[in-house]
Structure 1
């Protein structure tokens, strides 16, 4: 018989005397003041679209319930996103909420309805609750009360808007051993044994090309290490080895990997048709893509206790898909293991501190020949040897009943693009000719995903011309879309206007077109966090522009070769003029995907020079 250990703790805790928390509660649900309703701006940050007036959480060891009261003031329309919030709670929970507005001097209250609360079960232990608050407008005050059975997973002292007061109290349990891990740069105002307060916390500001806000925002993460009561002891996040053991015992993970008898027939068919390991993996992926549609939810546990659930419904989360793939590969006699990880948005895993709550994805780790490859089955546009960008998040943990170890999660594949332009400058200063591209690896993936949103090539061409009104696309041809293991080739016959500019008898012509970097993506003077580009970049190209004989080239930009320390990035730009045909050869290579904040100054300066060089014109006179 399955024992609910939390109920056992609750029953024992009733007989144990607990120390009362003496500090007064900073906020009471439903007790909104006129001052809060009349508030027009937050003086320390007048541009703030909203401000968290108070976020207060407390864990009661007697009842083993956690309560969170969250109050936010909406100041501008940009703050309306606070009307829709997600909270992680246990299966046993209750939520209530009110929206307060001041209308003609009177307080109007709109209650959160049951229809506006949506619970999504993640595992047997917890779910995510989505709430949509009613009648939110500029000036509204939103009040939420979240109450659930169990210990909190995390606590955010900082939000994307300023926080006036954030307080957490933990009536520390005698039978639960836990670890709190502090993240972020904002100091705490009060830090006591069982009470933590942050005051007047500035809004968290994301930077371009950040890994994840979850790595840097000021917060606590809690992990239960063990539970010990008379007659019962269980370890949880003591070590990554214990996490692996628990996962293999979990009904939505380990047990699922022992199901899937329907895959026997599938494996038999694949084995009879294909001989090589590579062909069998491709066939296994094709089967998974055709059988289970990805619902967009990143999970490390399946939604059911068997693999047949997702098969029958024809749709599933990432774990439904990848655990099915792992089981099918096992039946095809591959050596394969699950690797659990945290996606980029969810934050990186700690090598030191094991954590269930950081996990939200699982991949297949497959032996092919003499090596292993990480494989994901959620995206039909990725070849088996390439991972989604969101999974390229440093390290994952191999899960096995006998051994558990770290697996590097990176990629040797690039945003790889080759361009070739052959154009002629006309008397009216328009450019006519052909633009050709060969896109490989992640560049090919990006164009395939983009084309998925259009019903035809013509519709995609229409989109391109809207974004570039000076380019008339006369004809277009795109090949290689269906074969994800090859490049995508694009060819366009074009007429381009307003690219060459004239002043009197002088024409100014820049050689870069669609590939030109218009603005430096790194504009800030300083950088607080590392720069994550996902993967290396390699963009190469040749641009040929033929000039009529009555055009005379007076000046061309000097060639340049830029190089960052350790060859981390290079840029080559060289223009020549032979018989009135101007030719540009260029190459931009960013050879690593992660730059530390200390390298930001060099990277910013590098891109400044690239932007400036690509903007330098050729100077031409007319006879």
Structure 2
């Protein structure tokens, strides 16, 4: 009987085998240090970060809990580094189970009158704020911050949700001197470790001895129960990273989300098998992931619901409508009926019917409604799970790597993707937040398929500009251009909702010294049509008058002024988000009494493997100069191995466009 109680109760008591990392005592020399040894520009440095995760048994709750033990020691060099003295922890709480934080201790060390002074973090400086129905934010800022101070704080988070291990950040925007990670897991849980980022982390795995301890009382028939204790040995799997001198993660241009490349350590639960219990498989293949998600009550079941939108939808779907027109009408109908509440998620909160009734919902409620409408109208529509650009990239089979869902429709000429959360999205043009490498299509029978989210159709920006320069260096002219696809979408996102006056103020501020007139935009609300933009412009002192000569850059305010790629090396891929094409024709009318003495030469350059090209063709006539500039980037991503070629490509563009025309007075 006692054995059965042991197996059913599963009371764990973990014997810790951790080797405590000894922090050295803070000295006056530490506090007097003015800058980091290798990163002189750092505002602060993490001297030590510890994150240990282990399991204990909570006898009051009768369940296993997970303990996260956090210690930070941070040196702050400048006032700009004060933000690193703030700490925020998010706790998940539901009526039956809640996470809680304990042992919040902190000290700020300063030098005063040649002595080390300690200022402790007080209990009333730790704040709890409920930020959603199930999420509470615990936040504190260390006291008495001064440039040169060192802060040290620690706390523990106890979680009843033992099957989830939070991602552990291993790299920050400031240097990290010592990283100490240790995760101790009983053999009954099987987790798969995942290391993300470009920084090598030395992961060690070893085993230690643990034991299950059960204590209770045995009724022997007498009035006094007899106490007893049973122990079952088990293997504890320990994952450890001790790393030193981790450099800061530096921002690079054309990286939408640096967190995709930030080094971190995470663990995904694969299975559980407790003594006397069943084997539970969670995520070992994409097929497992697809099935586990599809058969959720708040996902797959929602795709079976009908009878709540058909009458309204049928009113807009007239006879003889082509398949493409039908697709557009359904997408636009869904946009109007269920507005996005700006909350992500691939599962429903209130459900598709309730969201339809209320007129708003999260990503899943909007796009699962769209899928239901498409299927009810005769299309073959299925959900595609996505991780947004800010959420990261799910490289391995994972249930937690997705936070978004879009709709796919299989047509005779291929598959298209749709997203009704964005008022400016169109058929096969998702919001930029969803353009994150790969998605995972899942079908009703649990079949799944990897779907590329890379954009292949270039977005275009084509235009014509006429310049007229007078002898006083005043510039007048006309501008017109047409934008398609994502170029047009970005324009609409920035333009719609602003007054014409505010919009013109922004343009004039961007172009400096430029006055605009006769401004017109067409198709701004016709999202399936290109944007057309025209205006007249004027500007004083647009050229340099030197003696009898006038010198100017021939593209004037459209000159590419600087190279975005200036660093010596590149750590991460270059993310252009989508391919682009641009072609502009320029006519420059020169002032009377002047001749064209010097013009730049034409060039035609390209990137390796036909990834991009730039063509600059210039010709002169008696009273004018004609220029054609064509720029193409034909891929969304370029690997960092091609960085030197990209850097040189943009350098040549900048150099060419900053060359000058010289006019000579007759």
Do both share a fold (TM > 0.5)? yes
2:173 corresponds to which residue?
160
Which digits, 9 at most, give the CA deviation of each residue in 1:324-343, with x for residues without a partner? 21122122221101011222
Residue 147 to residue 622, structure 1, CA distance change in 2 (3 Å): farther
Match of 1:251 among 297, 301, 307: 297
CA contact 1:61–1:172 (8 Å) conserved in 2: no
| Mapping 1:69-148, distance limit 5 Å | 69-71=70-72, 73=74, 74-82=76-84, 83=86, 85=88, 87=90, 92-95=98-101, 97=104, 100-101=107-108, 105=117, 107-111=119-123, 116-120=128-132, 130-134=137-141, 137-138=145-146, 139=149, 141=151, 143=153, 145=155, 146-148=157-159
Unaligned runs of 5+ in 2: 58-63, 207-237
Which deviates more from structure 2 when the two are superposed, residues 93-102 or residues 465-474? 93-102
Going from structure 1 to structure 2, the CA distance change for 1:592 and 1:319 (only over 3 Å counts) comes to same
Shift of 1:35: 7.2
1:293 equivalenced with 2:339 (yes/no)? yes
Taking a change above 3 Å as real, the CA distance of residues 400 and 375 of structure 1, as seen in their structure-2 partners, is same
- Looking at structure 2, the residues matched to 152 and 89 of structure 1 have their Cα atoms a distance apart, in angstroms, of 13
Asked whether the equivalents of residues 456 and 635 of structure 2 are also in contact (C-alpha less than 8 Å), the reply is no
Tell whether 2:68 aligns with 1:55. Answer: no
Alignment CA distance shift 1:517-1:329 (3 Å): same
Partner of 1:608: 651
Q: 2:364 aligns with which of 309, 316, 319?
A: 319
SS in 2 for 1:255: helix
Shift of 1:417: 0.4
- Looking at CA atoms only, which structure, 1 or 2, has the larger radius of gyration? 2
| Larger strand fraction of residues | 2
The CA deviation at 1:473 is 0.9
Helix, strand or coil: the match of 1:345? coil
Change in Cα spacing, 1:515 to 1:90, as seen in structure 2 (3 Å) is farther
Which residue, out of 336, 344, 347, partners 2:381?
336
Of residues 420, 423, 437, the one that matches 1:394 is 437
CA drift at 1:345: 2.9
- 1:404 equivalenced with 2:398 (yes/no): no
How far 1:415 sits from its partner (Å)?
A: 3.3
- 1:260, CA displacement in angstroms? 5.5
What is the CA RMSD across the aligned residues, in angstroms?
3.1
Runs of 4+ in 1 over 6 A off after TM superposition: 8-11, 31-37
Query: Alignment partner for residue 439 of structure 1, among 461, 468, 483?
Result: 483
Conserved? CA contact 2:478–2:535, under 8 Å:
yes
1:202 aligned to which of 216, 224, 247: 247
State the TM-score, normalized to the length of structure 1. Answer: 0.88
2:188: which partner in 1?
175
Ranges in structure 1 where 5+ consecutive residues have no aligned partner: 1-7, 122-126
Indicate the larger mover: 556-565 or 128-137: 128-137
Q: Secondary structure at the match of 1:257?
A: helix
TM-superposed deviation, 1:375: 0.9
Q: Following superposition of structure 1 onto structure 2, how do residues 491-510 of structure 1 map, counting pairs within 5 Å? A: 491-510=534-553
After superposition, the C-alpha distances for 1:187-235 in whole angstroms (9 at most, x for unaligned) are 4467342133223322222322236434432222211111223342221
Q: Name which of structure 1's ranges 129-138 and 288-297 shifts more when overlaid on structure 2.
A: 129-138
Q: Give the Å deviation of 1:557.
A: 1.1
Cross-structure match for 2:562: 519
Q: Report the secondary structure of 2:595's partner residue.
A: strand
Instruction: Give the count of matched residue pairs.
Output: 603
**How far apart, CA to CA, are the structure 1 residues paired with 2:101 and 2:30?**
22
Structure 1 pair 110–308 and aligned structure 2 pair: CA distance change class (3 A)? farther
In structure 2, the CA distance between the partners of 1:102 and 1:198, relative to structure 1 (3 Å rule), is: closer
Following superposition, the deviation at residue 461 of structure 1 comes to 0.3
Kept after mapping to 2: 8 A contact 1:415/1:442: yes
Task: Give 3-state SS (helix, strand or coil) of 1:495's partner.
Answer: strand
Q: 1:457 to 1:420 in 2, by over 3 A?
A: same
Separation of aligned partners in 1, 2:463 and 2:107: 57
What do the CA deviations read for 1:474-529 (whole angstroms, capped 9, x no partner)?
22111110001111111111112232111111111222134322111111111122
Q: Deviations over 1:408-449 (max 9, x none)?
A: 212233231012112211221111121111111111111111
User: Is contact 1:87-1:129 (8 Å) kept?
Assistant: yes
